[in-house]
Amino acid sequence: MSDKRAKILLVDDNPRVRSFVRPALEAAGFDCVEAVDGLTALEKVDREYPDLLVLDIMLGDDNMNGLDVCKRIRKKGVRIPVIFLTIKDRTEDSRYMERAFQLGGDDYYQERGIKTVGKEYGVASDRIFGTEI
């Protein structure tokens, strides 16, 4: 059995979000690599070979948001799981969730209502993020 830790690429332009998500992922036993924008995320997907992508939809870049990143990696044939982590509430605006799945996203969680993240690895978000986000 390999001792290799699963690597997660965390893509979010908000330093506050990265400041609590990354340490929580690392404490749960994952290696974590960060990107703050879409272009850097695409470069790190090619260079780092992550096992999972946790991707913010609203990256604060008018030229490339998280949906664009997902679309580009799927177009290149990259099949790693993509979990969207966003402030967008799926009940108030389902367009983002629908588009995320259309583009090849595997799951979609609102930052304030996460139930599971990293499910491919059997890790519950309450263990990763605690009960308060």
pLDDT in tens, the chain (133 residues): 456 889 999 999 999 888 888 988 898 899 999 999 999 999 999 999 999 999 998 888 888 999 999 999 999 999 999 998 877 555 666 777 777 778 888 877 766 543 344 444 344 444 344 433 3
pLDDT at 125: 41
pLDDT at 100: 76
Radius of gyration from C-alpha coordinates of the chain: 14
pLDDT at 71: 94
Bridge-based pairing state of the strands 52-55 and 82-86: parallel
Using alpha carbons, select from 102, 105, 98, 60 the residue that is nearest to residue 84: 105
Cβ partners under 8 Å of residue 133, min gap 6: 20, 111, 112, 114
Chain-centroid distance of CA 2 in Å reads 24
Query: Which domains, from first to last, does the chain contain?
Result: 7-129 (3.40.50.2300)
CA–CA distance, 37 with 39 (Å, rounded to integer): 6
pLDDT at 131: 33
Using alpha carbons, select from 97, 47, 98, 100 the residue that is nearest to residue 74: 100
pLDDT at 45: 97
The strands making up 107-110's β-sheet, listed across from edge to edge, are 31-35, 7-11, 52-55, 82-86, 107-110
pTM across the whole model:
0.77
